[in-house]
Structure 1
């Protein structure tokens, strides 16, 4: 697939998250579940590791469970079950690698990379937690706008030494602007959120550049939705630590 298609998929996933948040809790849960499934299916393809179908289930299911728990547990314990699902997913990955036996191809890369995939899959529950937190969606919008600017910067076919600072600076400026337009969030927390979100997204762009190989559709979906999933938990914890 074309390199820019990854950014487009990420923007589409981000738009679906925002639309789900402003539709209904069930719609946001459906988007979070689909995102976890997309990361689960696509991440093994992006890594180019064996046993893709089995690892897709081991990566995606913890994310689905984490999203469902975040949607239905009583406040304020929105992400209390996320570490348990994360631990279960990592344990399942290790057990699966043990069952494969010694001497299997890419065993270490498969184990470490799949554990990262489990983490990304589970972090998507943060979008639900951020939406439910205090019943206010200001930080949700700040994070979404910052992420959109960083993803748009990533579409530019310039070297990383130019795009990375541009994406981080753009997201850092978009955060306070979104805070001023859509809410009364202070400038500093909004700027911190924008900078952190921008840094995460441009880091994933670097992964795509370093891979340097053509990707199929599942791989593009996995690497595009992975950082979008991670931004949800970042927004929730920034909201909780700096604003609440």
Structure 2
């Protein structure tokens, strides 16, 4: 990630997800991850409009927060069979509430701009940026979906790997090639750590792809001065958002590959 604040925020968010995975596993219920996914959502929702430089920030924050929190709770309450009682039907159903939340969030984003009235500045940019944020906050619910599979060790290993991947971007490697080497180090660490913790190829692939997600989204940070992200809340949001998105990546890898 470009800036230490983004990297530290991403690492803390990833470790909270890892802790939530273990908590959900020990409790036998996904509510620990619901709480931590909700924290991710709130952090992103508070900073995303600031990062966009969008007007009507309170309204957009409310849209993002309600969408993400609604998706996390809906995944828990969504009807589905236990993994041993028809895993295909169970897995297919858990992505549905996330898709529904994204659709409702997109509609709400358009409604906010309509209420602002014609001639309001930055309507197109605000709408596009809010829709991107809606997708990011809703993706955090995928960590909760993994908890319903009792995939706590999988979530823990991927979360730890994402934390190390975020911090690896801080390794000072001079020269123009330094950024590429730091990014490669992040992805390699994110893939190697899950293998050491679980020996699962699904966790390895999920960690590597999640690390790549952190690297790519971290490059989107707007800069001011010496590479400092614009606004403290914006930096927190940009640090936490890739961890939320990585949840959806991990979910699909878990569904496709044997753990």
TM-score (norm 2): 0.83
Tell me which moved more, 170-179 or 89-98.
170-179
Give the alignment's TM-score, normalised by structure 1. Answer: 0.87
Deviations 1:91-129 (CA, angstroms, capped at 9, x unpaired):
110121122222221111101000000000000001111
Quick one: distance in 1 between partners of 2:77 and 2:176?
A: 41
Measured on the aligned residues, the alpha-carbon RMSD in Å equals: 2.4
Structure-2 separation of matches of 1:36 and 1:174? 23
Of structures 1 and 2, the one scoring higher in RCO (CA 8 A, sep 6+) is 2
Matched, 1:129 2:145: yes
Runs of 4+ in 1 over 4 A off after TM superposition: 157-161, 209-214
Q: For the Cα contact (< 8 Å) 2:17–2:156, is it kept in 1?
A: no
Asked if the contact 1:145–1:175 (Cα under 8 Å) also holds between the matched residues in 2, the reply is no
In structure 2, stretches of 5+ residues that fail to align are 25-29, 82-89
**C-alpha deviation, 1:156, in angstroms:** 3.7
> Relative to 1, partners in 2 of residues 1:215 and 1:102: Cα closer, same or farther, differing over 3 Å?
same
Q: How does 1:1-244 map to 2 (within 5 A)?
A: 3-24=3-24, 25-73=30-78, 74-75=80-81, 76=90, 77-133=93-149, 135-156=150-171, 161-179=177-195, 181-186=196-201, 189-208=202-221, 214-243=229-258
Q: Aligned partners of 1:160 and 1:115: how far apart in 2?
A: 34
Match of 2:87 in 1: none
